[in-house]
Amino acid sequence: MSEHTHNSDCVFCKIINGEIPSRKVYEDDKILVFHDINPSAPVHILCVTKIHIDSLNEVNSENISYVSHILEKIPEFAKSFGIDGGYRVVTNIGEDGGQSVKHLHFHVIGGKKLGYIG
Ligand code: AMP
Ligand code: ZN
């Protein structure tokens, strides 16, 4: 099963449930935002859905509201960190995409000149 509210093997579900600490930025009923433990830029936060979704591949009409809520809020987070002039949003998918935590999350990265990827 690729989607349920809690996956006991998932590090981000454990963060959502308070079993693992995080440096929280924002929380509401649908999403949790916290600082990446291994930042790749001066600002590097992770936006996660509060239900377990493996990756963007598992997004559907039932769970899209969690994802769209993240996208709606990201500009606010960027503004609050003073990076709204330019930043990057990334979601890695699967092994070849470099996804190490199998719980859908969006990296918001900024605070320095970012190199081109593509
Ligand atoms: P990805 O490689 O796209 O799956 O991203 C996973 C991200 O989660 C990496 O940037 C890790 O540094 C980050 N990460 C892993 N464990 C934790 C944790 N306990 N608290 C905060 N960030 C974490
Ligand atoms: Zn999870």
Number of other residues whose CB lies within 10 A of the CB of residue 118: 2
How far, in Å, is the centroid of ligand 2 from the Cα of 85?
31
Give pairs for 93-102: CB < 8 Å, separation 24+.
93/55, 93/56, 93/57, 94/55, 94/57, 99/55, 101/10, 101/11, 101/12, 102/10, 102/54, 102/55
* Residue 105 falls in the annotated catalytic set: yes
Q: Could you read off the pLDDT of 64-118 as tens digits, one per residue?
A: 999 999 999 999 999 999 999 999 999 999 999 999 999 999 999 999 999 998 7
Atom of ligand 1 nearest to the CA of 98: 2
Q: Could you read off the pLDDT of 3-48 as tens digits, one per residue?
A: 456 788 999 999 999 999 999 999 999 999 999 999 999 999 999 9
Q: Write out the residues surrounding ion ligand 2, Cβ under 5 A.
A: 7, 10, 12-13, 52, 103
pTM surpassing 0.85? Answer: yes
Q: Could you read off the pLDDT of 53-76 as tens digits, one per residue?
A: 999 999 999 999 999 999 999 999
> What pLDDT score was predicted for residue 6?
76
Q: Are 112 and 48 in contact (CB under 8 A)?
A: no
> What pLDDT score was predicted for residue 5?
64
Atom of ligand 1 nearest to the CA of 22: 20
> What pLDDT score was predicted for residue 1?
37
Q: Are 33 and 27 in contact (CB under 8 A)?
A: yes
